[in-house]
Structure 1
Amino acid sequence: MLDLVQLRSFLAIQQTGSFTRAAENLGLGQSTVSQHIQKLEAALDRRLIFRDTHRLGLTPDGEVLAGHARAMLAIDAQVFDLFAANKLRGQLRLGVSEDFATSRLTAVLEDFTRAYPSVDLQLTVALSGVLYEMQDLGEIDLVFAKRRLGDQRGRLVYREPLIWLARDPLQLTAQSAPLPLIAFPPPSITRKLALEALDASRIPWRIVCTCGSLSGLTAAARAGMGVLVQPRSMAPAGLKEIPRDILPPLEDVEFVLVPRNGADQALITALSDEIFSKVGGSLEIS
């Protein structure tokens, strides 16, 4: 088995063209570097370096070894970096809002679990209000969910507008009042904002379908049952945005990260950084 320390000395000699400079670069004595080459040549039973009064270089066998040596040291560095980065371990309880889970969560989880395979992730998908309640009870370590404008809870990741959606907006809104709504149950933030906007504009409404799952609400909206409210970037396929002159504008929402006091800070930081790298910094103003 080849010794990586000896291979490192061998490549240093190739790069510098000198035993002396190679030893200086490696922080070793020249005699130590010479011993490395001697042992390496003995292990392979090949002469790897030629020296004369004018120059120093690699023999043909040395040239062959150099390519393999670089590859072996590169793999060694990759393995070292992998395990150095993966010192994080333990359990992290993540709560994610329903709409984010169906749109962008996959990319976050894929890269995080690849980078930190020793971390056990316990995932809860629910309404933002439910997640905050669970965190208050100590059941979730990190929440990634919505908050209303002006709420100081958590660390802002990005902001975007809410929109009205329907399968056939013009046909649906042309119907006689009240406006049929498809909504999450309380304490949904999008539901509350939708009802506030309609009440402020004195538009009568009725809830025709309630479901805690976005897939269920989407199915109802695609069936033409009523109007659904969602962040613009998370609008389900098959639904169209209702023009602004038909229904009142909706308040923007902010997506935030909220850590639990006392949670493992290293795990919180690692996952928060991953979320920011995927979705942070986008700012959409309605």
Structure 2
Amino acid sequence: MLDPVQLRSFMAVAEAGSFTAAARGLGLGQSTVSQHVARLEAAAGRRLIDRDTHHLSLTTDGEAMLGFARAMLAVEDRARAHFAARELHGRLRFGASEDFVTSRLGRVLESFVRDHPAIDLEITVALSGTLHRMLDDGLLDLVLAKRRLGRPRGRPVHREPLIWAARSPDIADPARPLPLIAFPPPSITRAAAIDALDRAGRAWRIVCTSGSLSGLKAAADAGLGVMVQPRSMRPQGLVEIGPGPGLPALEEVEFIIEDVSVRRPPDSPEARAARILTEALVVGGIWRSP
């Protein structure tokens, strides 16, 4: 009843929030993706997506189907990986931004290493801007990172808003400059926070800079200031504050995957390993908190 091709298109639409973005990410035409979803709805005998010209949302049955799709495609990917494991040797240099430290990324990587023991996986954790530069310089093979909306890099796999997070809302006193806890440049969250505050005419000051998420969280836990994170990656113990007086709404960011497969033969170990890990990351939904 459930065609894996149709399930992948449906899952891409659900995660990207639009047929256009899903088609772009899958490398298919929008009409093809629409047909896949329509056929899946026909096979299920249920409407899975409510859509109009401006909005797309999953029905209750669509939410259920999304869970089934993730589980079924994960099994299929593991089966493919299992039978290809003996053929796959080499090294994969993978970079992930700091935000994913508290996500399900570790579980996905654990599964990848177990299914592909002959692949030497090297992991770099850094800011998104740093990872992009390393990829351009040939120091990484695959990158999982963030980008601001409208930027051309990578394959978008998820989109969500940034939020202000702090130990208590009291820290955002409108009468005083907002104390910011931030990654150093070229941090995307830092730039988004400063741009939003400047547009709103809100005074601010940097009270803590750290290259690690654990460092930022420690400062926020101590009540030193406010940090910015994707909503699903808000550190435990911190609360979402704003938007409100003197605390403007923040933009959305996209999570993207980018690799160097276009620079390598498609059957090279690095390119094949990058494709397998990419699919595992997309199916695993690593942007959701554990």
Specify the TM-score bucket, using the shorter chain as the normaliser: 0.5 to 0.7
Q: Distance in 2 between matches of 1:135 and 1:281?
A: 21
Report if the CA contact (8 A) 1:86-1:115 is conserved: no
* TM value normalised by structure 2: 0.66
Task: Go from structure 1 to structure 2 and tell me whether the alpha carbon gap of 1:250 and 1:175 turns closer, same or farther (over 3 Å shift).
Answer: closer
What's the CA shift for 1:213?
Answer: 0.3
Q: Distance in 2 between matches of 1:200 and 1:84?
A: 52
Amino acid at match of 1:234: M
What's the CA shift for 1:153?
Answer: 0.7
- Counterpart of 2:182 in structure 1 is 183
- Counterpart of 2:141 in structure 1 is 141
Deviation larger for 109-118 or 220-229: 109-118
Pairing of 1:269-284 with structure 2 (within 5 A): 269-279=275-285
What's the CA shift for 1:89?
Answer: 1.3
What's the CA shift for 1:182?
Answer: 0.2
Task: Go from structure 1 to structure 2 and tell me whether the alpha carbon gap of 1:89 and 1:236 turns closer, same or farther (over 3 Å shift).
Answer: same
SS where residue 87 of structure 2 aligns? coil
- Counterpart of 1:268 in structure 2 is 274
1:100 aligns to 2:61 (yes or no): no
- Counterpart of 1:127 in structure 2 is 127
Report if the CA contact (8 A) 1:158-1:280 is conserved: no
Report if the CA contact (8 A) 1:166-1:239 is conserved: yes
SS where residue 209 of structure 1 aligns? strand
- Counterpart of 1:198 in structure 2 is 197
- Counterpart of 1:161 in structure 2 is 161
SS where residue 139 of structure 2 aligns? coil
- Counterpart of 1:118 in structure 2 is 118
Task: Go from structure 1 to structure 2 and tell me whether the alpha carbon gap of 1:86 and 1:102 turns closer, same or farther (over 3 Å shift).
Answer: farther
CA offsets 1:93-133 (integer angstroms, 9 cap, x no match): 00000011332211111111121111110000000001011
What's the CA shift for 1:243?
Answer: 2.6
Amino acid at match of 2:250: L
Q: Distance in 1 between matches of 2:283 and 2:87?
A: 21
Amino acid at match of 1:143: V
What's the CA shift for 1:265?
Answer: 1.7
SS where residue 111 of structure 2 aligns? helix
Report if the CA contact (8 A) 2:93-2:142 is conserved: yes
CA offsets 1:146-203 (integer angstroms, 9 cap, x no match): 011011111111111100011011x211263211000000000000000000000000
Deviation larger for 84-93 or 137-146: 84-93
- Counterpart of 1:234 in structure 2 is 233
Q: Distance in 2 between matches of 1:266 and 1:144?
A: 17
Report if the CA contact (8 A) 2:162-2:230 is conserved: yes
- Unaligned stretches of 5+ in structure 2? 1-78, 265-269
Tell me how large the CA RMSD over aligned residues is: 2.1
Count of residue pairs brought into register by the alignment: 203
Q: Distance in 1 between matches of 2:116 and 2:139?
A: 22
**Percent of residue pairs identical:** 55
Amino acid at match of 2:239: K
Report if the CA contact (8 A) 1:157-1:281 is conserved: no
* TM value normalised by structure 1: 0.67
- Counterpart of 2:255 in structure 1 is 255
Task: Go from structure 1 to structure 2 and tell me whether the alpha carbon gap of 1:139 and 1:281 turns closer, same or farther (over 3 Å shift).
Answer: closer
Report if the CA contact (8 A) 1:185-1:191 is conserved: yes
Q: Distance in 2 between matches of 1:272 and 1:243?
A: 35
Q: Distance in 2 between matches of 1:84 and 1:206?
A: 53
CA offsets 1:48-103 (integer angstroms, 9 cap, x no match): xxxxxxxxxxxxxxxxxxxxxxxxxxxxxxx9x94544421110000000011332
- Counterpart of 1:109 in structure 2 is 109
Q: Distance in 2 between matches of 1:184 and 1:281?
A: 19
Report if the CA contact (8 A) 1:165-1:241 is conserved: yes
SS where residue 214 of structure 2 aligns? helix
Deviation larger for 116-125 or 254-263: 254-263
Amino acid at match of 1:108: V
Amino acid at match of 1:155: R
